[in-house]
């Protein structure tokens, strides 16, 4: 069996895009299946005649957070609603996540509705950079909206520099962790000269990929740039662009904007 | 359906046998084994530790291995003597996929040199933060095995290979994807933890001195030790059971806060069953508080019963709630800093908590697990000796 590491090449990007398109089209947690995204706060009502989220075919329910525990209450009965798990309720699915007191409820239809396939710029190797992360000492933890519009704790870990269109740009990198594991992502949320024309106005996300050599370098492949979920559905709030992460030149690589989603996202630095 | 069955029987022979499998992470190769029998039943093995694959289906030239506990799949194209495809589990932020490949045969067994064997105190560096871990290595008939231990317990068996002064050990169970690579540099180990496809964390380690390197499991979670511990949860028939139940009056009580979904809790169960058999006649009760996945009593009770049957649990199991750390903590307000499944509470004859042990170190940790067994028995003996 041939040895090898993850192929960081055009075929790998094609495969990732195909996987993502399949997920968008068929997954029960596709952004195209989302009907509503609602902060729970002191409690919300959903279902037939629900004040916060009216849903036909579901008896009126109330979602309440008490002492860090979520419950679904209807007709004097209640059941726990676990976080970070897709729960079937009548013809819908519910997914609650976020820190206590800031819990967000996503309500999904049974299947994605009219998913738009994403469109991409042709793969362009000139937008693939080998970069080094210039670390910061502060490692400030801040709350930001992730690609899915849900608030997460993110650690400021440093910057990377790229030369695009003859101009060097320094981009901030935040580490966003996954609960309960040792995994995390090094994310860059950036704007560039294609926004408002070919790409989503609020900006796009891209990950830093660790180099195969393990020598501390990273791969920054803008062909892997992807839209925040607010580009797919106006149910999702859009992350505000990250301060300083603007590249004046157009980065004609990665995901384009196919229309739909939030039409006028806020464009102001966080 | 008939076509599917025909396709399955047509390729059953090529899948049957042992496969040396790999996940290609950004910075390394995570090696494990897949074993398939003649009826297309399979298991994923990390060295000597195996877990069943829920189902294997074959359609045309594509095999699908489904790992039900984590709703994960490995989908692979079947070639003459190899498989290529992807491991995938699904989140709400997109698919999580990692390239997978396998070839017929068994990974070579490469025992490690004595310089590596034993326990090492490790420091993991992420950004400017550091955190303690313990690494443990031992040789087995399957080659090098190890354990990776954090404050809340270990991550199960790691298995791997060595070449000269370098080594790699890995753990894959369908959800956790961990590869620890390192080399011996004088009297120090240096390496990288690869978590999932692309998280890399640098670490160094020195020989354990025997002094505690991790936060002791009895200091992670604190309890109200002044008042009797109050609790009330339904048993598997729905009948409420509480600390006031006469069966617990004047007895030493051990409470296991666990989940049927939790691999470490599965490792802890035989030890607790042994503890019960050893001490029950002398006035010790054990109760398991199960924190489960769905919140649906029918589904969760079924999973708890399956756990009870698997380990022949002779003590009472109650359905306590959901397996979210925050939700669990909310049902146990007399505990603070709840962090780990399982957590074991030792309660005196007067009903007050005397000791809280967070986490559990499994068989992969060798001597540490032996010490833990002694610690549990000693804790119970001390409580029995109280007036």
Which sequence spans correspond to the domains of chain A?
31-108, 116-231
Residue of B nearest to A148 (CA): B93
pLDDT for B69: 66
pLDDT tens sequence across A64-80: 988 667 889 988 888 87
pLDDT at A8: 58
Tens of pLDDT, residue by residue over A43-63, are 999 999 989 999 999 999 999
Give residue for tokens 């060295």. Answer: B47
Rounded to whole angstroms, the maximal C-alpha distance in chain B is 71
CA torsion through residues B290, B293, B299, B304, sign: negative
Delimit the CATH 3.40.30.10 region(s) of chain B. 222-385
Closest-approach residue (CA) in chain A for B85: A15
Residue B83: predicted pLDDT? 95
pLDDT band at A179; cut points 50, 70, 90: low
- Architecture label for domain B118-207: Beta Barrel (2.40)
Statement: B2-104 belongs to CATH 2.40.160.90? yes
Q: Where in chain B is the domain with CATH 2.40.160.90?
A: 2-104
The whole-number pLDDT of residue A107 equals: 95
Give the pLDDT of chain B (387 residues) as one tens digit per residue.
Answer: 334 433 444 444 479 999 999 999 988 899 999 999 988 899 999 998 898 898 999 999 999 999 876 678 999 999 988 999 999 876 667 778 899 999 999 999 888 999 999 999 999 998 878 899 999 999 999 899 999 988 877 888 899 999 989 999 999 988 789 999 999 999 999 999 999 888 889 999 999 998 888 887 777 788 899 999 999 999 999 999 999 999 999 999 999 999 887 877 888 999 999 999 999 999 999 999 999 877 778 888 988 998 999 899 999 999 998 877 777 788 898 998 887 889 999 999 999 999 999 888 877 777 778 888 999 999 999 999 998
Find the closest chain A residue to B192 by CA distance.
Answer: A214
Q: What are phi and psi of B243, to 5 degrees?
A: -65, -15
Alpha-carbon gap: B381 to the closest alpha carbon of chain A (Å): 34
In CATH terms, B222-385 corresponds, of 3.40.30.10, 3.30.420.40, 1.20.1430.10, 3.40.190.10, to 3.40.30.10
The pLDDT-based confidence of A6 (bands split at 50, 70, 90) is: very low
At residue B204, the pLDDT reads 97
CA B311 to chain centroid, in Å, comes to: 15
**Per-residue pLDDT at A262 exceeds 90:** no
- The DSSP H or E segment spanning A140 is none
Higher pLDDT, A244 or A180: A244
Chain A residues near residue B27 by CB distance under 8 angstroms: 5, 210-214
pLDDT computed for residue B215 by the predictor: 81
Distance of CA B212 to the CA centre of its chain: 22
Calculate the average pLDDT of chain A. Answer: 86
Nearest Cβ partner of B26 from A15, A146, A212?
A: A212
Q: Examine the pLDDT at A5 and tell me if it is beyond 50.
A: no
Following CA atoms B247, B253, B254, B257 in sequence, which dihedral angle do they give, to the nearest 10 degrees? 60
Through-space distance between the first and last CA atoms of chain B, rounded to whole angstroms: 67
Q: Dihedral (C-alpha) B373, B379, B382, B387: value to the nearest 10 degrees?
A: -140
Q: Which of B96, B146, B357 is nearest to A185 (CA)?
A: B96
A139–B199: do the CB atoms touch at under 8 Å?
no
Q: Name the segment(s) of chain B with CATH classification 2.40.128.120.
A: 118-207
- Structure confidence at residue B11 (pLDDT): 45
pLDDT classification of A27: cutoffs 50, 70, 90? confident
Contact A6 B26 (CB under 8 A): yes
Cα A112 to Cα B92: distance, rounded to the nearest angstrom? 13
- Residues B323, B329, B332, B336: is their CA dihedral positive or negative? positive
Judge whether residue A7 has pLDDT over 60.
no
What is the C-alpha separation between B307 and B266, in angstroms, rounded? 8
Q: Which of residues 45-104 of A touch B (CB under 8 A)?
A: 66-70, 79-87, 95, 97, 100
């Amino acid at each position: 069996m041939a040895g090898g590491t993850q192929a960081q090449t055009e075929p790998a990007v094609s495969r990732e895009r195909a996987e993502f398109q399949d997920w968008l089209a068929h997954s029960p947690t596709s952004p195209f299946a989302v009907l509503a995204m609602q902060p729970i706060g002191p409690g919300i009502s959903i279902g037939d005649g629900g004040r916060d989220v009216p849903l036909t075919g579901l008896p009126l329910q109330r979602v309440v957070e008490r002492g860090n525990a979520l419950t679904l209450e209807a007709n004097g009965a209640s059941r726990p609603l676990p976080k970070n798990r897709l729960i079937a309720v009548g013809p819908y699915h519910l997914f609650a996540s976020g820190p206590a007191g800031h819990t967000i409820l996503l309500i999904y239809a049974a299947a994605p509705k009219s998913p738009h396939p994403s469109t991409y710029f042709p793969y362009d190797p000139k937008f693939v950079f080998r970069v080094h992360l210039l670390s910061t000492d502060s490692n400030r933890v801040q709350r930001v909206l992730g690609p899915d519009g849900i608030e997460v704790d993110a650690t400021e870990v440093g910057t990377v520099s790229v030369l695009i269109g003859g101009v060097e740009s320094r981009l901030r990198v935040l580490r966003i962790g996954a609960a309960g594991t040792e995994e995390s992502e090094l994310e860059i949320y950036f704007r560039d000269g294609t926004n408002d024309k070919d790409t989503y106005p609020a900006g796009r996300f891209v990950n830093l990929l660790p180099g195969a050599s393990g020598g501390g370098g990273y791969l920054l492949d803008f062909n892997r740039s992807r839209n925040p979920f607010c580009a797919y559905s106006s149910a999702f709030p859009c992350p505000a662009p990250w301060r300083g992460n603007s590249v004046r030149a157009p980065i004609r690589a990665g995901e384009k904007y196919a229309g739909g989603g939030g039409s006028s996202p806020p464009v102001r630095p966080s | 359906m008939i076509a599917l069955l025909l396709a399955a029987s047509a390729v059953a022979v090529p899948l049957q046998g042992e496969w040396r499998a790999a996940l290609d992470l950004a910075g390394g190769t995570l090696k494990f084994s897949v074993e398939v029998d003649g009826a297309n039943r399979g298991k994923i093995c990390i060295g000597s530790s195996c877990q069943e694959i829920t189902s294997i289906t074959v359609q045309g030239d594509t095999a699908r291995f489904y790992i039900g506990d984590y709703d994960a799949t490995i989908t692979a194209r079947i070639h003459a003597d190899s498989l290529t495809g992807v491991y995938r589990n699904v989140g709400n932020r997109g698919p999580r996929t990692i390239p997978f490949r396998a070839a017929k045969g068994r990974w070579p067994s490469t025992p490690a040199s004595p310089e590596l064997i034993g326990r090492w105190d490790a420091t993991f560096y992420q950004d400017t933060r550091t955190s303690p871990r313990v690494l443990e290595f031992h040789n087995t008939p399957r080659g090098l095995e190890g354990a990776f231990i954090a404050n809340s317990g270990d991550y199960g068996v790691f298995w791997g290979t060595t070449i000269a002064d370098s080594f790699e050990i890995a753990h894959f169970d369908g959800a956790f994807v961990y590869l620890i690579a390192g080399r011996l540099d004088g009297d120090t180990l240096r390496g990288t933890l690869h978590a999932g496809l692309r998280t890399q964390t640098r670490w160094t380690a020195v020989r354990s001195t025997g002094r505690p390197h991790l936060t002791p499991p009895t200091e992670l979670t604190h309890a109200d030790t002044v008042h009797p511990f109050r609790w009330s949860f339904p048993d598997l028939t729905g009948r409420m059971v509480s600390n006031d139940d006469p069966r617990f009056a004047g007895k030493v009580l051990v409470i296991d806060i666990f989940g049927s979904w939790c691999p470490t809790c599965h490792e802890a169960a035989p030890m607790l069953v042994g503890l019960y058999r050893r001490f029950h006649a002398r006035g010790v009760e054990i109760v398991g508080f199960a924190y489960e996945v769905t919140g649906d009593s029918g589904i969760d009770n079924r999973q708890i019963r399956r756990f009870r049957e698997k380990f022949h649990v002779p003590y009472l199991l109650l359905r306590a709630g959901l397996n979210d750390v925050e939700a669990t903590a909310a049902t146990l307000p007399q505990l603070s800093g709840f962090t780990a499944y399982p957590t074991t509470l030792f309660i005196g004859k007067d009903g007050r908590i005397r000791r809280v042990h967070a986490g559990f170190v499994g068989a992969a940790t060798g001597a540490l697990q032996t010490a833990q067994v002694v610690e549990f028995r000693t804790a119970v003996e001390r409580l029995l000796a109280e007036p």
